[in-house]
Each structure stands twice: as structure tokens, then as C-alpha cells.
A and B are shown apart, each in its own frame.
Chain A
Amino acid sequence: MTHVAPAGQKPKTVVGLIKQQDAQATAMTDAPPDTPGPRTQPDDAQQDDFAPRHYPIADQIVRQRRIWKHERIGFVVLLAFIALALSGLFASGPLSRHIGSSPQQRLTVEYERFLRNGASSRIVLVARTSPSARATLRIDQAFLRAHVVESLQPQPLSARSHEGGLELAGQADERGEFSLYLTIRPDGIGLVRSTAWFEGDSVVFTQFIYP
């Protein structure tokens, strides 16, 4: 992109001198072939490219320059926008991916902090208990109201409603871990504060859903 010519700079002497020479050169060589007689040398106002002109159109160069300046600022803003998108501020990226754990590390929730309305995402709940034990996980109502749960893996041994939320039971593996993968499609807009529980341990995770 181009840039930023120093706006409104007063011509300094050296610059003025160069301009003078330019103008003389222009007067000597740039005469249109079919114009009779020598051309008048541009005066000071004409030499300044940013001085307003009144003929053949009355241009509004000051305002137009402001518009050009805004275009340049806008371009920088767009670059910043792309940088933020790459970093994950608009979902799927290092800024967005997050793992929340309960104080005793018995429950961890892996989730995206930023989501987009209608775009699928994934949440992984991992509960740590004794080997092959039965584990019961709960997810609260706020989560289910903001997202459509598209799939649930593995299929829980039992599932039931619990205070408007969901209670899911499964069996831990021989290392005592029970992982539950949820594919979700956000169906709301704005901040959603959800909670997941496992035997008295809880993880609160906040997600922002873009429109």
C-alpha cells in the first residue's frame, strides 16, 4: 500500500528549489505540440499539488485527502482484523482454544471460547475417577439453551434431565478416565456461562457466540 505522504507539509527551501527547477523543465518540455506560444509558468499555488483548484472543477481536496487518509487507516484496521482472525478471536485459533479444570483436576473441559452462530464446534469433558468406575457428568441448562447438541460420543449408559440440564452416565476406562465428546452448534448470540459437574467438582466455562 502506499503511504502516507506527509500531509500538509509546508514546502521547505530545498524542496521549493527543486520544484522551481521542475517547473522550469516542465515549461520547456511539456508544452503541448499544437499549442502556440510559450506557456505560462505555474505560479506558487499551482505548484502545490494539494492547493485547491477551481477550474475545470471546484475540487474539495482537503475533504478528499481526509477520505484518502481514512482509507489508509481503514486498511490498517482490516490488517488488524485479519491478524485477530488468525489468532482465533473469531473462533478456532490459539486464543479461542481453552482447557478449564476443576480445582482437584478431576474434571477438565476442553472448549472454544469464541464460537460463531450456526458453526459446529466441539467440547470434550474428561472425568477422572477410579478404574472402570461409573462416572456421572452433568451439564447445566444455560449450555443446552445456547447450543444444539448434534452428537454425543460415546453414547452414555444413561441420560436424563436434571434441573433443566443434562445428566449423563458412562463407564471409566482402566486408567479411570471417562471422556465425553460433544459436537455442538451454537444457536444463540452473546456470552454464555455454562457449568459442568462431576461428583461435586465443577468447571464454569464462558463462551462468546458471534452472530
Chain B
Amino acid sequence: MNPIDDVNEPAPAQPAGEVQSLADAREVARRLRARMAAAVLGRDEFIELTLVALLADGHVLLEDYPGSGKTTLAKALGNSILDDRPEDQIADFRRVQFTPDLLPSDVTGSTVFDAATASFHFRPGPIFAHVVLADEINRTSPKVQSAMLEAMAEKQVTVDNVTHRLDALFFVIATQNPLDLAGTYPLPAAQLDRFLFKLRMEHIDRDSELQVLASWRERRDVDRADLPRVTRSQILAARRVIDEQVNVAPEVQECLVDVVRGMRADERVVQGASTRSLVLMLPALQARAAFHGRDWVGAEDIEALAPRVFGHRVELAPGVGSIHEVLKDVAREPFERLARTTLARR
């Protein structure tokens, strides 16, 4: 059972536009999850992490083999968001297929001459959408990658010295193929740092795969209109509510900082995680806590998110197997300290 569902509190029947409490925010996440889970089977964990990233205002890099459901996942997310401001011309979902000959303007948009008005005006590129799927992002040139980078970090694009703001709900799901590396431009560390999570998707389990085969026809034909969608402003409100109402205790922050510092001091780590990663991680921890029906961040949130957040930011010494073993060692003391403080009288 997914943790989002497992706390038996009555769900509000319908968040009537306004998202004011954590329960409302959770309902938003629950609806999104339901729609995505209906589209992609056996990916519950990734769906949850994607939603955490969405509500924490981060971006996700998916690393997987072709045909594992990345696009479906991203599309389902885009389709689940109801645009309650159609006048701004921003699409729900756009997909950009990155190729070596792509130009930055193909992504950001360009200024074109309008013969009717005899003036230049900006035509937004595919990046002007709520959810953007950046497929095979490592196949394009660094020039395009860095244009993406500005967009992701600053939520704005600059074309011909004019800065255009992106939508507040700008969420990038980038993918890359971990095997087929010939002729690619691997993302530099600075760019990887912009992604909140790098998720490595494994093949789904047997039952889910069987279920996919059994139900793919219906899922292709049936529009999931019966499942409720959420609006753009509801997601934005949920972000705000989570940020305001989920408490991150000083002890938890200490624990987080100690883990990162311990990792930097460990001899198995060549390059430690940045301070920015800590800043990015806080909202993610809050979002995860909210998903699990809590208004406080606990050690389990760190436990669950740390490998995802630090995995692609930390460079390990040659011969060290995985970030897991490093984390297990460096986290022992901070976790022990955190656990001990909770029993203290106050």
C-alpha cells in the first residue's frame, strides 16, 4: 500500500479550488498519483518521488532504458494538470526530443517578424509549459543544455536580451539513457546539481509487467476523464501550504548538515554535496512528510530521500560501490544523535 493512502483519515471530498490545509495538499498529491498510477503500472515509488519533486519545486532526471515508461509517466502528469488560466497560452505538457543539432532557440523560442504588424514579437518555445519532458537530454550540445539550465534554475529564458518569465509551475522531467553513450554530451556536475532527484528506474516486477500486457489496450483507449484532475493553482497552493505548515525541527536540520559534512569528510568521497543541495532538499523533505500525513520532518524522510538527492551530486572514489554504503556509515552518528535528542526532556 502506498504511504499516501495509508493514514486513515477522511479525505476531503473535493478540494474546492482552495488548498488551505495539509490535508488538502495531500489530496492534490493523491489525485495526481491516482492518475499517474493508472497510466504507468509498477512505478509507485517513482511516481511518489516525481510528485515530491513537483511539490518541492524541483526537477527530475530519469535514467532508464528506452521503453520503460518515462514518457508515459511525464505525459500522465501533464495531462493531470488542468490549466485554469488558458489565456496565458502555456501548454499543459510539452515534449522536447534533444538531438545534437538542436539549437537553443528551438527550446526557448525565438523572436519572429510579424508582417501584419511590422514588428518583432516573441514566439515561445516548447519550454513554456507546465510539465516539460526533456527526452535524452545528454544527446544535445552543451549550448542547448545550458539554455535549459538557466530555464530550470531561474524559471526564465532570455531571448535577444529580453527576459521572459516561465510559468510558476515549471517542472522538467529529463531523461537519459545510461547505456547508449556514443555521441552524447554527458551533463556536467553543475548541471546535474539543478536536478533535485536523479532516479534510476529498474525494470518493473513480473506481476506489474503481466498486468501491463493485460490492460494496455484499455489504458490506450480510455481517457482517464473519470479520475479527478487538479488545477495549476491548486498545485501552487499546495506548494505554499507545505512550505508553511511542515515543520523542520532544528535537530533534523543539524542531522542533515552533519550527514552532508560527514560525507565530505569521508575518504571514499572525492566531491561532496553542495550547500545548494541542502537548500533544495528541505522542501523535498517537507513534501515527503506531507505526503505521509505528517506536519514534521523525521529521520525517515532523510533516510528515504538522501540517496536520491545526493546520488548524482557526490563523486565517489574509484572502487567504491555505491552512495548507499557511504551514507550508511556517515549517517550513523547524526542519526543516533537525532534519535537521542527526541527522548530528552523539554
Partners in one complex: no
**Chain B residues with a Cβ under 8 A of chain A:** none
